Amino acid sequence: MAYLDHAATTPMLPEAIEAMTAHLAVTGNASSLHAAGRRARRTVEEGRETLAAALGARPSEVVFTSGGTEADNLAVKGLYWARRDADPRRTRVLASPVEHHAVLDAVDWLASHEGADVEYLPVDRYGRVHPETLREAIARDPESVALATVMWANNEIGTVLPIRELADVAAEFGVPLHADAVQAVGQVPVDFAASGLAAMTVSGHKIGGPYGIGALLLGREHTPVPVLHGGGQERHVRSGTLDVPAVAAFAVAARLATERREEFAREIGALRDELVTTVRALVPDAILGGDPVERLPANAHFTFPGCEGDSLLLLLDAAGIACSTGSACTAGIAQPSHVLLATGTDPDLARGTLRFSLGHTSTKEDVAAVAEAIGPAVERARTAGLS
Amino acid sequence: MSGGVDSAVAAARAAEAGHDVTGVHLALSANPQSFRTGARGCCTIEDSRDARRAADVIGIPFYVWDLAERFREDVVDDFVAEYEAGRTPNPCLRCNEKIKFAALLDKALALGFDAVCTGHYATVVLNEDGTRELHRASDMAKDQSYVLGVLDEKQLAHAMFPLGDTLTTKDEIRAEAERRGLAVAKKPDSHDICFIADGDTQGFLASRLGKAEGDIVDEAGTKVGTHEGAYGFTIGQRKGLRIGHPAADGKPRYVLDISPVNNTVTVGPVEALDVTGLTAIKPRWCGTAPEGEGRYTAQLRAHGGETEVTASLTDGELTVSFAEPVRGVAPGQAIVLYDGTRVVGSATIATTSRRATATA
């Protein structure tokens, strides 16, 4: 099978599996005071230090969560509540329209349940928010902004956003900026301290770590209102007994993903370029999505005019190729991608998308499999048309 | 794969027989609702999940295809329009004709598949000359050939019914599902119209057509009551007429006729429901159209019995006379003609003739 859906989840690194399994057999609640607890706590704190070092953060800035979705919810809702509590005028939430649903739906929930005034920041045709756009939006009424949230790199079309510049603008006005960096880690340089962000989301299973763990990197000056209340773990911001084996494995994966980033970007980037060249040669009217230069090295996103993305997926799956349409679905029904719609793509065209995402196990054989299957698949999907 | 037990077992049998099977659940509602209690037809998220779970256990790919727009145009709107015109449609036949063995089949063929396989209880027979015949299921009690009577030979050539040719009771199908590890084994059957999740057809029609008060009259034309919309009635209906006073002879009254033109519902005694013949339009033949007059058995409802008829085709209109009078025949329903167990074809009932008077 040619697995080209690493942006959905990527295989765990052997070193991470080793760390995880080693700790699965060890008992200990990191909150306990006895010897077993201390041992667990040591593992967690060493993991926290490793993760922080890998991502340019201080250990005290790491808040472990159950994954990217929870970290996004904690940042968006928690910071909104905290900032509004401090000043009731702060009800504006500025967000990019190309966010992952973990951010989009949290933002929409704030609008429908917490009286938030949500403003979606216009993006260019590559899905990028320009710093000047953010400046204009904040400057319209700086006192009323609760927070801004813009992803570091887009999970569908792979465009990398100018986070540093956006954070500079937000900082000028004292507005906290959150970035979902789930897709960026291990692919582009990610340094929390240098970014100027108030909060940043990372996830374990997208970088070779385990499922079910992620973290919100959170500047010490920010104290979001918790989404989960309980035992007061993680700076009282995120209660719940820590998953010690997962923390250990996540830390190993983050360290390796960062250490190997340049090599990964070079080698997997070259493989991705080969994939793009191949697909364009075989299907000349295929449109490459996202920024052609400022993009994730492992992402190749295409639109195939006249095709239903779902049909292509089915045909490629039957040919042993795992990829994605890139867009979310409702009850299993494919919807035109909100990312493409935000970039101004025609809705019918936006239904014919495929995302190939490469990863640390990708090979030339994977590209060869696509080369063999894509032409006939597109031809058939075109015959089936848009139902 | 509707999410029910029949299509799950059909898929499992097809896969086991060596076919390259892909599970498809049709999303037919523009706004799928989740019903926790489940099993109210084929339009819920819950059912889609059940179908996916079954596909995963069988080990086949699974996709949800969104045919809601086609379904609305070809089935739901047609259903409403037929009731509005005073007729009684069968949306399941319509769905098989226009959706499952048309829109779905066309897309499947374009994607390189060979056939649509469903959990219907019916049998396809391949003749030596390459032609195909549709027959009743081996088990007459579960036979569903009536709702497939609209399929022509071309559609039949791409149809598979793995449940139709085995003498298995529903209990045995459930046991087979259980044996195969399919969680839908104990799921209740769905009987209702799938796009009317709460089963309230009158409420559904009222919401689509609004109220239109009119008269209920007896056979002599005397007003005996009022109604809130002629479309809310079916010929042969007895309950829900809400006629304040009894008939002169004290006998119960039944809906005899629905006239949308003057929004009138005619009621009368049960004898007046006896139909001796009918005409039917839009015939669809499974194979070549019959010539001249022929003797057949006919089925007039999904769960109805068989009736001996004589039928002939003239200018695309079928004229049928019954050997014995039958009751409760309504325009809009389908008549399916059989030669023994073989489905000859079907047509939509346009007019019925009664002993005394003919109604339009």
Residues A80 and A189 in one domain: yes
Nearest-neighbour CA in chain A from B61: distance (Å)? 8
CB contact under 8 A, B111 and A380: yes
- Angle at the Cα of A86 (from A80 to A91), degrees rounded to 5? 40
A313: nearest CA partner in chain B: B63
How many domains are contained in chain A?
2
Q: Does pLDDT of B357 surpass 60?
A: no
pLDDT in the model for residue A90:
98
Establish if B25 touches chain A: CB-CB under 8 angstroms.
yes
B23: nearest CA partner in chain A: A314
pLDDT digits (tens, 9 = 90+) for A256-310: 999 999 999 999 999 999 999 999 999 999 999 999 999 999 999 999 999 999 9
Residues A223 and A352 in one domain: no
Q: Which CATH architecture has domain B211-272?
A: Roll (2.30)
CB contact under 8 A, B111 and A381: yes
Residues A202 and A221 in one domain: yes
pLDDT above 90 as % of chain B: 58
Q: Which of A259, A292, A322 is the last residue of a domain?
A: A259
User: How confident is the model over B182-187, as a mean pLDDT?
Assistant: 90
Residue A200 pairs with which residues in a beta bridge? A179, A217
Structural fold of domain B5-186: Rossmann fold (3.40.50)
Q: Which of A156-160, B197-201, B217-221 bottoms out in mean pLDDT, i.e. has the lowest? A: B197-201
CB contact under 8 A, B66 and A383: no
Q: Does pLDDT of A317 surpass 80?
A: yes
Tokens encoding B96: 């098989």
Contacts of B67 in chain A (CB under 8 A): 387
Residue of B119, B116, B89 lying closest to B100 (CA atoms): B116
Q: Which of A197, A232, A259 is the last residue of a domain?
A: A259
Contacts of B45 in chain A (CB under 8 A): 331
Active-site choice (A262, A329, A344, A347): A329
CB contact under 8 A, A310 and B32: no
Establish if B65 touches chain A: CB-CB under 8 angstroms.
yes
pLDDT in the model for residue A387:
63
Contacts of A315 in chain B (CB under 8 A): 111-112
Establish if B103 touches chain A: CB-CB under 8 angstroms.
yes
Contacts of B70 in chain A (CB under 8 A): 387
Residue B275 pairs with which residues in a beta bridge? B326, B354
Active-site choice (B92, B95, B117, B286): B95
Question: Is B42 annotated as catalytic?
Answer: no
B45: nearest CA partner in chain A: A331
Contacts of B65 in chain A (CB under 8 A): 310, 387
Residues A287 and A242 in one domain: no
CA A364, A369, A373, A378 dihedral sign is negative
Per the CB < 8 A criterion, the answer to whether A58 and A86 are in contact is: no
pLDDT in the model for residue B266:
92
Q: Between chain A and chain B, how many beta carbons pairs sit less than 8 Å apart?
A: 50
Out of B45, B63, B70, the one facing A314 most closely (by C-beta) is B63
pLDDT in the model for residue A332:
63
pLDDT digits (tens, 9 = 90+) for B131-144: 999 999 988 888 99
Residue of A186, A252, A217 lying closest to A6 (CA atoms): A186
Residues A243 and A359 in one domain: no
Q: Supply the CATH number for residue A83's domain.
A: 3.40.640.10
pLDDT in the model for residue A330:
57
Nearest-neighbour CA in chain A from B103: distance (Å)? 8
Q: Does pLDDT of A328 surpass 70?
A: no
Active-site choice (B43, B117, B194, B286): B194
Contacts of A336 in chain B (CB under 8 A): none
Contacts of A318 in chain B (CB under 8 A): 20, 22, 61
Establish if B53 touches chain A: CB-CB under 8 angstroms.
no
User: How confident is the model over A160-173, as a mean pLDDT?
Assistant: 98
pLDDT in the model for residue A331:
54
Q: Which of A259, A288, A317 is the last residue of a domain?
A: A259
Out of B64, B67, B112, the one facing A380 most closely (by C-beta) is B112
Per the CB < 8 A criterion, the answer to whether A27 and A43 are in contact is: no
Contacts of A380 in chain B (CB under 8 A): 110-112
Between CA B321 and CA B328 the distance in angstroms is 15
Ranges assigned E (strand) in chain A: 2-3, 62-65, 92-95, 117-120, 145-149, 177-180, 199-203, 214-218, 287-288, 299-303, 321-322, 329-330, 333-334, 353-357
CB contact under 8 A, B70 and A387: yes
Establish if B32 touches chain A: CB-CB under 8 angstroms.
yes
Question: Is B43 annotated as catalytic?
Answer: no
Residue B352 pairs with which residues in a beta bridge? B278, B359
B28: nearest CA partner in chain A: A333
pLDDT digits (tens, 9 = 90+) for A64-96: 999 999 999 999 999 999 999 999 999 999 999
Residues A291 and A248 in one domain: no
Domain boundaries, chain B: 5-186, 211-272, 274-359
pLDDT digits (tens, 9 = 90+) for B266-303: 999 888 889 999 999 999 999 888 888 999 999 998 88
Name residues whose C-beta falls within 8 Å of residue B329's C-beta, 6 or more positions apart in sequence. B235, B236, B275, B278, B300, B349, B352
pLDDT in the model for residue B34:
41
Contacts of A311 in chain B (CB under 8 A): 107, 111
Residues A35 and A56 in one domain: yes
Residues A62 and A133 in one domain: yes
B33, B53, B64, best to mutate vs chain A, most A CBs in 10 Å:
B64
What's the farthest any 2 CA atoms get from each other in chain A? 67
Expressed as residue numbers, the domain containing A356 is 2-9+261-384
Name residues whose C-beta falls within 8 Å of residue A183's C-beta, 6 or more positions apart in sequence. A7, A151, A152, A153, A154, A155, A158, A206, A296, A299
Residue of B299, B286, B283, B305 lying closest to B344 (CA atoms): B286
Residue B320 pairs with which residues in a beta bridge? B278, B311
Select, from the ranges A222-231, B62-71, B82-91, the one with the highest average predicted confidence (pLDDT).
A222-231
B48: nearest CA partner in chain A: A331
Residues A224 and A269 in one domain: no
Residues A283 and A370 in one domain: yes
**Four-point Cα dihedral A74, A76, A82, A86, nearest 10:** 170
Between CA B252 and CA B279 the distance in angstroms is 28
Out of A318, A331, A334, the one facing B48 most closely (by C-beta) is A331
DSSP for B79-113, written as a single string: HHHHHHTT----HHHHHIIIIIIIIHHHHHHHTT-
Residue of A306, A294, A298, A289 lying closest to A345 (CA atoms): A289
The three-class DSSP label of residue B26 is strand
pLDDT digits (tens, 9 = 90+) for A22-52: 999 999 999 999 999 999 999 999 999 999 9
Q: Does pLDDT of A329 surpass 80?
A: no
CB contact under 8 A, A314 and B22: yes
Please state which of the four CATH numbers 2.60.40.10, 1.10.390.10, 2.40.50.140, 2.40.30.10 is assigned to the domain occupying B274-359.
2.40.30.10
A380: nearest CA partner in chain B: B111
CB contact under 8 A, B27 and A385: no
Residues A36 and A153 in one domain: yes
Q: Which of the four pLDDT bands, split at 50, 70 and 90, describes residue B42? A: very low
pLDDT digits (tens, 9 = 90+) for A99-152: 999 999 999 999 999 999 999 999 999 999 999 999 999 999 999 999 999 999
Chain A residues in contact with chain B using a Cβ-Cβ cutoff of 8 Å: 310-311, 314-315, 317-318, 329-334, 380-381, 383-385, 387
Residues A252 and A314 in one domain: no
CB contact under 8 A, A387 and B65: yes
pLDDT in the model for residue A365:
98
CB atoms within 10 A of CB B203: 12
Name the more confident of B355 and B359. B355
Q: Which of the four pLDDT bands, split at 50, 70 and 90, describes residue B228? A: confident
**Complex ipTM:** 0.86
Contacts of B112 in chain A (CB under 8 A): 315, 380
User: How confident is the model over B107-115, as a mean pLDDT?
Assistant: 96
